[in-house]
Amino acid sequence: MAGLKGLKKQRRIQIIALATVALIGATGLVGYAMRDGINFFRSPTQVVEEPPSQGEVFRIGGLVEEGSIVRGQGETVTFRVTDMNQSVPVAYTGILPDLFAEGQGMVGTGSMVDGTFQATEILAKHDETYMPAEVVDALKEQGVYVDPNQPDS
Q: How much of the chain is helix, strand and coil, in % rounded to 5?
A: 30, 30, 40
SS3 27: helix
The predicted-structure confidence for 51-89, as pLDDT tens digits, reads as follows 888 888 888 888 889 999 998 778 889 999 988 888 999
What band does 11 get if pLDDT is binned at 50, 70 and 90? very high
What Å distances lie between residue 35 and 30, 80, 85, 96, 120, CA to CA? 9, 29, 31, 28, 18
Separation between Cα atoms, residue 44 and residue 80, nearest integer Å: 10
| Closest by CA position to 47, among listed 6, 3, 101, 89 | 89
Is residue 83 within 8 Å of 45, Cβ to Cβ?
yes
Is residue 48 within 8 Å of 86, Cβ to Cβ?
yes
Confidence (pLDDT) at 127: 58
> Strands 87-93, 116-124: parallel, antiparallel or unpaired by DSSP?
parallel
The predicted-structure confidence for 113-150, as pLDDT tens digits, reads as follows 988 999 999 988 665 555 556 556 666 665 655 665 66
Is residue 83 within 8 Å of 62, Cβ to Cβ?
yes
